[in-house]
Amino acid sequence: MRKIIHCDCDCFYAAVEMRDNPALADIPIAIGGSVERRGVVSTCNYPAREYGIHSAMPTAQAFKRCPHLTLIRGDMPKYRAVAQEVFAIYRDVTERIEPLSLDEAYLDVTGVSAHQGSATRMAQAIRARVAREVGITVSAGVAPNKFLAKIASDWHKPDGLCVVPPDAIDEFVRALPVNKIHGVGPRTGEKLRALGIDTCTDVRKRTLPELAEHFGSFGKRLYELSWGIDERPVKTRRERKSVSTEQTYPRDLPTLAACHGELPTLIEDLQRRYRRLDPPPGVRGAMVKIKFNDFTQTTVEHAGAVMEDAPFAALLDAGWQRGRRPVRLLGVGYRLVDPAPEAQLSLF
């Protein structure tokens, strides 16, 4: 049985800013783009969350909820440097680390002998070192698999530790709301509620064929997770599946023609980002993302080889027809070829 720790830095960008300027600690702050540039909140501290502010919220809406909010422009080089300090502490415990972002990661500590082999003590030691040496807090979840560890890390936030031992899995999962399951978004959540499914116990009452009928291949995933089953290993190397760029405009692009006028700049930036990959993998598709001025959004994709910027104009045309209204954000991207496809098996 695996021993997995999920570590998640609490309100990471905001925590770094509060560390560097203690005067910010007790007032609502947010990291994000300005109202004038129609920015969004990247993260915010807990005083700001009391006003209902959250990540991905438009900055203008955040100021409506909290007029005295302090907005800070993000400093990514500083945040990356702090993340490197945190991950160095993780690596003192185990090399089997799967980063999810700058501020969170899975650690597989199965078989690690430090701290008498106790994953709980390892998590306690990690959190203490990060607080002492880096000056921010980390919440951690300890469990036999990734699904449970990630949920557990959020259980006692901020600066919390939650442990789900093997003999407590059933009790922990039974009452778990299904919206805690990764992959259950608003639409899937609505379908589940319409079926009278609110908790993992409710999922367990349905048969696997019934769940597959309503949710396709995700039905099997729902069924397994409702029993606390997750066999995914911690992946120490994450292969990039796509590269993209997007732009939120200070003023809405009023027409399809105006959108086409912005496309060359986006494609140029995308190609520049692609060339920075080392080595650049093959491209197996293209995509265009559109967010309209009513905040609805759509993504249109082309599967197959991409010659320069050929498919993007057609994808933009198709996507714009879905909303036919002013556009606040445009994005373009490539889907990338798996750099390590399965080898062809011999016939003999």
Q: Which residues are annotated as a binding site?
A: 8, 103
Strands 29-32 and 70-72: parallel
> Do 330 and 262 touch, CB atoms closer than 8 A?
yes
Confirm whether 104 is a catalytic residue: yes
Cα(311)–Cα(334) distance, integer angstroms: 11
Please answer whether residues 148 and 127 qualify as being in contact, where contact means their C-beta atoms are separated by less than 8 angstroms. no
CA 315 to chain CA mean position, Å: 26
Set 104, 133, 268, 342: catalytic member: 104
Tokens 């692609």 locate to 274
State the Cα–Cα distance between residues 252 and 290, nearest whole angstrom.
12
Binding region for Mg(2+): 8, 103
Sign of the Cα torsion 142, 95, 233, 13 reads: positive
CA distance 171 to 163: 13
Beta strands 242-253 and 161-163: pairing type? unpaired
CB 302 within 8 A of CB 286: yes
Closest listed residue to residue 151, CA positions, set 130, 177, 133, 128: 177
Phi, psi of 152 (to 5 degrees): -65, -35
Q: Which residues are catalytic?
A: 104
